[in-house]
Amino acid sequence: MNKNKNIGCDECHWQGFNVKGSGVYAKAELCICVQNCKECTGTGTLLSKNEKGYSYVTPCQICSVIRRNVKLYNMAGVPAKYHDVLQVGTRNDEDGVSGGHEER
């Protein structure tokens, strides 16, 4: 049993996403291995139940971080020449707001 919770494949170099450097801005795209995350079936969230029987939704521990990073990456609009830079917008990671809703 593989206890490593990371997701990935050779396609994304085990990062879970691919960066397309074409155009003015680099664009991060979720890799197919994340889109088909077997933990959450690609939804990014998991339905859990607590001891009282209430069900609640939690972010998928395997792929939600990657999804968020990709979103931040694209929101930051990294110029294509910096497409090597992967540490984008990870500030306030600890006490950050919990982004419940998504806009698109």
Binding positions for Zn ion, rule: CB under 5 A: 9, 11-12, 31, 33, 37, 39-40, 60, 62-63
63 versus 78: smaller Cβ distance to Zn ion: 63
26 versus 31: smaller Cβ distance to Zn ion: 31
- Which residues contact residue 40 at a Cβ distance below 8 angstroms, ignoring those fewer than 6 apart? 46, 60, 62, 63
Three-state secondary structure call for residue 37: coil
In angstroms, the CA 70 to CA 28 distance is 6
61 versus 79: smaller Cβ distance to Zn ion: 61
Q: Shortest approach of Zn ion to residue 52 CB, angstroms?
A: 25
